[in-house]
Amino acid sequence: MAAPRAFQRLVASEWSKSSRGLHGLSGVVAPESNQNKRRTVLQFLSDYFYDVETLREYLFQRQMLKVHRKNRSFLAMKGSFGPYVTGAYFVLKLGGAVKFQGQEWIRPGKRGQISPSLWNLHSVPVEAVDASDCVINYEGLDHILLLKDLRSLSLQRCPHVDDWCLAHLHPLAGSLRELSLAGCPRVSERGLACLHHLQNLRRLDISDLPAVSHPGLTHILLEEMLPHCEVVGADWAQDLQPRDAASPIPGQPSA
């Protein structure tokens, strides 16, 4: 594990102090052997990296707790404000945007404030949701599923949208026409295979999915699975390109 420059300077500083202390006491006690010096440095490194790993784990758990809190349930609002306002409120709280039928897009203010006009739209269906870059996860997706008339859903670059989330979208099969998963780092072929329920899809964006190992072949399979849907973001022929003549063939020695 490579130490950062700041840590390298710290080690050098600590070792320099230790060395000056030893030289200052040279007339009183004998200097430590090289073996003892190495043991001291190794112990210092061991303690430091142990603390770093502990801190890293603590910060990760704290981040997950924060994501969990942001995806907490607002379903208790459903009885008072209806499913459309409840689902829209959740998306807006995450920093996303919603569009009610016949209305302009609603987005949160710079400080996260939500327009009071939202509460007057309890009887108007939500037709589009833009949750791009939001920290929505599997639990939070329940709020999206309240929007039974949803036609367009963008989950672009959502870091916590994974294969389980895609398997959770089937209740929107009757209405959903457009779905964007571009840039979702946790979406793989397994999750995309779950989209076979969404037979009314007309456009699907699967660009820039690092967990998909064969985007070209996945593109072909999705087109067969969703024959009426335009699949964009992956060239179906890119996995079928002939190997570069200069590239070595696996199993054979290079020239």
Question: What is d(CA 124, CA 140) in angstroms, rounded to the nearest whole number?
Answer: 21
Judged by average pLDDT, the poorest of 46-50, 71-75, 146-150 is 46-50
Tokens of 193: 């295979």
Question: By the 8 A CB rule, do 85 and 126 touch?
Answer: no
57 and 89 part of one domain: no
Asked, for residue 200, whether it belongs to a domain, the answer is: yes
- Residue 234's pLDDT is 76
Among candidate residues 47, 70, 93, the one where a domain is terminated = 70
- Residue 18's pLDDT is 46
Tokens of 91: 């998306």
112 and 51 part of one domain: no
Mean pLDDT over all residues of the chain?
A: 81
Domain that holds residue 115: 74-238
Number of structural domains, the chain? Answer: 2
186 and 62 part of one domain: no
Question: What is d(CA 178, CA 233) in angstroms, rounded to the nearest whole number?
Answer: 14
51 and 114 part of one domain: no
pLDDT-derived band at 9, boundaries 50, 70, 90: low
Question: By the 8 A CB rule, do 204 and 231 touch?
Answer: yes
43 and 84 part of one domain: no
Is the pLDDT at 48 greater than 70, yes or no? no
36-43, long-range: CB < 8 A, 24+ apart: 41/11, 41/15
Asked, for residue 250, whether it belongs to a domain, the answer is: no
pLDDT in tens, 203-255: 999 999 999 999 999 999 999 999 999 999 877 555 555 544 444 444 444 43
Tokens of 77: 């609002």
- Residue 227's pLDDT is 95
Asked, for residue 221, whether it belongs to a domain, the answer is: yes
pTM, two decimal places: 0.71
Is the pLDDT at 170 greater than 70, yes or no? yes
Kindly give the residue spans of alpha helices, DSSP state H, lying in the chain. 5-24, 34-70, 78-93, 141-144, 163-167, 189-193, 215-225
Asked, for residue 17, whether it belongs to a domain, the answer is: no
At residue 177, φ and ψ (nearest 5 deg) are -115, -30
Is the pLDDT at 1 greater than 90, yes or no? no
- Residue 10's pLDDT is 47
149 and 193 part of one domain: yes
107 and 217 part of one domain: yes
Asked, for residue 27, whether it belongs to a domain, the answer is: no
- Residue 70's pLDDT is 84
Transcribe 118-180 into DSSP letters.
Answer: GGG-TTSPEEEEE-TT----TTTHHHHTT-TT--EEE-TT-TT-BHHHHHT-GGGTTT--EEE
96 and 125 part of one domain: yes
Chain centroid to Cα 238, Å, comes to: 25
Among candidate residues 44, 70, 96, the one where a domain is terminated = 70
104 and 167 part of one domain: yes
Position 71: which residue type? N
49 and 78 part of one domain: no
Asked, for residue 8, whether it belongs to a domain, the answer is: no
How many Cα atoms occupy the beta-carbon half-sphere of 107 within 13 Å?
8
102 and 134 part of one domain: yes
Asked, for residue 59, whether it belongs to a domain, the answer is: yes
Among candidate residues 14, 42, 70, the one where a domain is terminated = 70
- Residue 105's pLDDT is 97
Question: What is d(CA 129, CA 8) in angstroms, rounded to the nearest whole number?
Answer: 48
pLDDT in tens, 179-209: 999 999 999 999 999 999 999 999 999 999 9
Q: How many CB atoms are located within 10 Å of the residue 249 CB? A: 8
CATH number at residue 135: 3.80.10.10
Average confidence (pLDDT) over 90-95 = 96
Is the pLDDT at 54 greater than 50, yes or no? yes
63 and 179 part of one domain: no
- Residue 236's pLDDT is 58
Higher pLDDT, 49 or 252: 49
Asked, for residue 249, whether it belongs to a domain, the answer is: no
- Residue 140's pLDDT is 94
Radius of gyration, CA atoms only, the chain: 28
pLDDT in tens, 104-147: 999 999 888 999 999 999 999 999 999 999 999 999 999 999 99
